A and B are shown apart, each in its own frame.
Chain A
Amino acid sequence: MEERKDDNISAMGTVAIGEAGKTGDWRSLRPVIDRKKCIPTVKNKPACFLCWLYCPEGVVKAGIEVEIDLEYCKGCGICAEECPPRAISMIREDKSHE
């Protein structure tokens, strides 16, 4: 991590993404979306988005094509568990490919 400077007289943190690093590294399971089952993609309009609603990390982008920021997704599996049509599968991360 690059060193950050604080010009304040009292200790004051500044806002930064990845405060705990690239938390995608924590994952042992990766969420993979099956577009053929995902409701907004199928209906071609904003709908459902329960994965966006329930993601504790706020890394799901709600759109016609739902996207997950895998750089920071911690792999908790909540999105897959709560997805009504079960469009998300949790797939093992293959560490040997890193």
Chain B
Amino acid sequence: MPENLFKLNAKEYILPGTRACQGCGLSLGYRYALKALRENTIVTLPACCLCVLHGIYPSTPVMIPCLNNSFASTAASAAGIVAGLQALNKTDTTVMAVAGDGGTFDMGIQALSGAAERGTDFIYLCYDNEGYMNTGTQRSSATPMGAVTTTTPILTKQQHKKDFIKIMDAHDLPYLATVSPSYPIDLYEKFVKAKKIKGTRYIHMYVPCPPGWGFATKDTIKTGKLAVETGVVVLFEIENGKFRFTGRSKTLAERGNRLPVINYLEKQGRFRKMNIEQLNQQQAWVDGKWQEYIRRAEA
């Protein structure tokens, strides 16, 4: 890994002293996304933890121009920016819409689906901390089954996570990728690639969230890695329909040595109420998704 490190853009685009929590997976992932996209990028985002990180008017720690919009209009606002830039002949600017899982899976899906269907030339980044985190850990359709949230405090969440990536894949995008801040080089390379592609590019970033998931701030990297080791999170990219595992997930697919999901679940406070039946269901669900990906890679 050290050799790869020197290939990374050394410049930082986020000044220190942000509002994000200690050990925030989003801060780390966003740090590398911006390094990869560099200057000449415009971000548009709704309310979410990233909006909090972007700061309170009239100050911001982020050196990339950013527009604040509403939940329902994230992708629509990106489409507007793209149209405006085209009118000004500034077609070399990268437009990136960013929203959380709540702002994507639940509230932003319509505008995103519309922009993707029209082939709007932008990157859509969904960072998935599996809940409405900045409002106090409410459940979203991205929250995994068995998790305690402030709106599922007794029985835990009863439904499985929505397979949003499949919904985006159904739009036949030129580029779709999953990333994790625990693997910054893989993340960086995918953003570099996405920047060069025209049309709608969708990137899904899993972001371990210490307060929302109930683990120590020092364990953010380890938690993200365990998600991949157990197959709860799968690193891949789909380029014009061609599926390819990447990084650690590629090795796991070749060797077939995934860890059981309990290794990941048992280390997080949010799964403390999970019963054995839910655990088995979760394992079966992860196994099923994994088999789908294996078939996809072989096709």
Contacts and interface: CB of A to CB of B under 8 A. Distances in A.
B184 interface: yes
Contact of B58 (A12, A46, A53, A54): A12
A76 B55 CA distance: 20
Interface in A46-82: 46-50, 52-59, 69, 71-72, 74-78, 80-82
Decide if the interface of chain A is mainly helix, strand, loop or mixed: loop
Interface string B209-226: 010000011111110000
B15 interface: yes
Interface string B36-62: 000000000000000000111111111
A17 B15 contact: yes
Contacts of A74: 22-23
Contacts of A5: 58
Nearest to B20: A56
B5 interface: yes
Given A50-B1, A55-B28, A58-B16, 11 more contacts: A11-B58, A16-B15, A17-B16, A17-B17, A19-B15, A53-B5, A56-B31, A71-B17, A76-B218, A80-B218, A90-B218
Interface of B: 1-2, 5-6, 12, 14-20, 22-25, 27-28, 31, 54-63, 181, 184, 210, 216-222
